[in-house]
């Protein structure tokens, strides 16, 4: 089984990422503002997870539909934030070409696939379902800040007793991917995510059919810098 089909569809995911529910109150309004689409726009939240950011998109009058691979996340989304939802794979979206005004991709939800072709396919699908002039908001962790943070961790296991898990974060030997191993609720997980450079993000967006993106270095829309903790790209289709 692919790691992303297992890690995100286990109840432990909600414990490990419990703080992200509270973060949504800060992240949602800011990211929705950076998406910067008028009320009434058709926006796809991909992947939507359990919908923690959905209320903040809806609050701007956007017509939001969500999609995700995880049935567990989709069930929670339907209970907590009812909305049109689809179970899907990011590499082949079940939406019509040119049918959306915006795609909202938050919380480093790109780079999960093992090959460059598959990761590019995700962006190509985003471009395909957007109308010409449609907007993608791609919210990624900044590579350089992650390198600094992981250097401090020194690849050691750390315990988080309050949330009942332990974790070890390492780079793959070629330093292109970050491996986050976790043990929680008697199960083992391993995120395996490609962390691109800014040049790689821009090259992939161009290849997928987007114009050169604007980039912010944080939720307040501050200017992008190599050292920013978040790299938030707003890209418009050609």
Ligand X SMILES: C[S@@+](CC[C@H](N)C(=O)[O-])C[C@H]1O[C@@H](n2cnc3c(N)ncnc32)[C@H](O)[C@@H]1O
**114/156 with CB nearer ligand X:** 114
Tell me the residue nearest to ligand X as measured from the CB: 49
**2/226 with CB nearer ligand X:** 2
Handedness of CA 76, 82, 87, 89 (dihedral sign): negative
- What is the nearest approach in angstroms of ligand X to the Cβ of residue 33? 16
**Residues belonging to the chain:** 238
Contact by Cβ (8 Å): 50, 80: yes
* DSSP bridge partners of 43: 64, 102
120 secondary structure, DSSP code? H
**68/167 with CB nearer ligand X:** 68
Residues within the interface to ligand X (CB under 6 A): 4, 8, 47-49, 52-53, 68-70, 73, 88-90, 106-107, 109, 112
- What is the nearest approach in angstroms of ligand X to the Cβ of residue 89? 4
Residues 6+ apart with CB under 8 A from 71: 9, 87
**63/223 with CB nearer ligand X:** 63
**75/211 with CB nearer ligand X:** 75
Handedness of CA 100, 202, 215, 105 (dihedral sign): positive
- What is the nearest approach in angstroms of ligand X to the Cβ of residue 180? 11
Contact by Cβ (8 Å): 230, 141: yes
- What is the nearest approach in angstroms of ligand X to the Cβ of residue 8? 3
Edge-to-edge strand list for the sheet holding 230-236 = 85-87, 63-68, 42-45, 100-105, 130-141, 230-236, 214-216
- What is the nearest approach in angstroms of ligand X to the Cβ of residue 9? 6
Structure tokens at 92: 């082949």
- What is the nearest approach in angstroms of ligand X to the Cβ of residue 183? 19
**90/169 with CB nearer ligand X:** 90
């Amino acid at each position: 089984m692919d790691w992303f089909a297992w890690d995100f569809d286990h109840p432990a995911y909600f414990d490990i990422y419990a703080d992200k529910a509270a973060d949504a109150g800060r992240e949602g309004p800011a990211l929705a503002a950076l998406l910067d689409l008028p009320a009434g726009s058709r926006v796809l939240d991909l992947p939507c997870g359990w919908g923690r950011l959905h209320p903040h998109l809806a609050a701007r009058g956007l017509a939001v539909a969500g999609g995700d691979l995880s049935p567990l996340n989709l069930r929670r989304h339907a209970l907590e934030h009812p909305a049109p939802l689809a179970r899907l794979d990011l590499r082949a979206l079940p939406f019509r070409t040119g049918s959306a005004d915006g795609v909202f991709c938050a919380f480093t939800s790109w780079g999960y696939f093992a090959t460059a072709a598959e990761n590019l396919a995700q962006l190509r699908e985003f471009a395909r379902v957007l109308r010409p002039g449609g907007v993608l908001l791609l919210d990624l962790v900044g590579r350089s800040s992650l390198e600094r943070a992981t250097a401090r961790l020194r690849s050691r296991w750390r315990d988080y007793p309050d949330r009942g898990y332990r974790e070890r974060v390492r780079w793959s030997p070629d330093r292109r991917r970050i491996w986050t191993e976790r043990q929680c609720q008697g199960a083992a997980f391993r995120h395996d995510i490609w962390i691109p450079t800014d040049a790689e993000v821009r090259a992939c967006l161009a290849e997928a059919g987007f114009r050169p993106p604007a980039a912010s270095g944080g939720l307040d829309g501050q200017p992008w810098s190599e050292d920013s903790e978040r790299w938030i790209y707003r890209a418009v289709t050609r």
